[in-house]
Amino acid sequence: MENNLHENYVRNISDEITLCIQKIKNKQDNMEGISKEDKPLVMINYDCRMIEQVVQLLIS
């Protein structure tokens, strides 16, 4: 029972990380209308938000 809970937890975290990575890739592909100079800053901010979500999951 305990092992099963742990497996589900790890799977959920893995799914969330995969989802965050997909969101980052989608964001990279969807940068129309943003100047070339601003793109790195936009991506860094977005990446940080995604990482923050994952960290919150891990510590909760």
Note the pLDDT tens digit of each residue in 2-58: 778 878 888 888 888 888 889 888 888 888 888 989 989 999 999 988 889 888 888
| Per-residue pLDDT, 13 | 84
Q: Note whether 43 and 35 are within 8 A (CB).
A: no
| Per-residue pLDDT, 3 | 77
Angle (deg, nearest 10), helices 2-29 and 39-59: 170
* pTM, 2 dp: 0.67
Q: Tell me how crowded residue 27 is: count the other CB atoms within 10 A of its CB.
A: 16
Q: Tell me how crowded residue 29 is: count the other CB atoms within 10 A of its CB.
A: 8
Q: Note whether 24 and 8 are within 8 A (CB).
A: no
Which alpha helices (H) appear in 1-60, and where do they start and end?
2-29, 39-59
| Per-residue pLDDT, 1 | 61
